[in-house]
Structure 1
């Protein structure tokens, strides 16, 4: 897991970890206009490193507005287009209230713990396995006889 040094943006500290195709972003402080810009940069770095899913841990965020929601929704759109997902970890705090007031809890996959987010990523990984297609010149096999690879 690659640990990136904290980014300190006017009242916001962001720490990033990347492990394969999962990025973990922990924010502490206030997500204001400058913080939103910092979060956008973090998402860009995660994408450039091959991340397909991002876990935003906002449990230590004391302030955020609708601009932060735009960043999260933009990240969601980009990750989903790559077959991934976005998770937002919040407790009973201002970020959770902002997300729920905007009715975005389902769209942003709100979780109470980081473990919940990782469990959902693992669950999705096991449900998205696909059966490889046979070569074009392979003999035809009835669909009922095709067994997925383990």
Structure 2
């Protein structure tokens, strides 16, 4: 499934896709995840969680920027996943997104892997 939302401030857009890979679902946002766009990521994560996969991989390799609303979306998804026994793994973090996650000290909360393939066993 692919959905676009326009970010009016920067004229950027966020695209979020999801696909199965083995026993996991991979969610791939492309673009900036900010206050305007984070509801789209939240919607896709909820849809994926509804399928009850054992593992949800969020491939952040094509996210250039993420603000606190994006972080909150990931934390919310992790909390929901714990309730259902699923695991959320973040992977392929860009240096900018990794820095934001580290500043928020969420690198000790999330499982972080280098690639989607590594995420399958992380």
**How far 1:21 moved relative to its partner?**
5.5
Are 2:68 and 1:66 equivalent residues in the alignment? yes
Q: Which structure 2 residues correspond to residues 73-88 of structure 1 after superposition, within 5 A?
A: 73-88=75-90
Structure 1: unaligned runs, 5 residues or longer? 121-150
Take 1:93 and 1:59, find their aligned partners in 2: how far apart are those partners? 9
Larger relative contact order (CA 8 Å, sep ≥ 6) = 2
Could you say if the C-alpha distance between residues 27 and 83 of structure 1 is closer, same or farther in structure 2, counting changes exceeding 3 Å? same
Q: Following TM superposition, where does structure 1 have runs of at least 4 consecutive aligned residues deviating by more than 6 angstroms?
A: none
5+ residue gaps, structure 2, are: 7-12
Distance in 1 separating the partners of 2:22 and 2:116: 17
Distance across 1 between alignment mates of 2:54 and 2:64: 27
Figure out how many residues of one structure are paired with residues of the other and give that number: 116
**CA RMSD of superposed structures (Å):** 1.6
Task: Give SS of 1:56's match.
Answer: strand
Larger Rg: 1
More strand by share: 2
- Offset, 1:18: 3.2
User: Over residues 14-51 of structure 1, what are the superposed CA-to-partner deviations in whole Å (9 max), with x where a residue is unaligned?
Assistant: 11113576221011111112321001101111122222
Q: Secondary structure at the match of 2:107?
A: coil
Q: 1:36 to 1:15 in 2, by over 3 A?
A: same
Between the aligned partners of 1:20 and 1:92, the Cα distance in structure 2 is 24
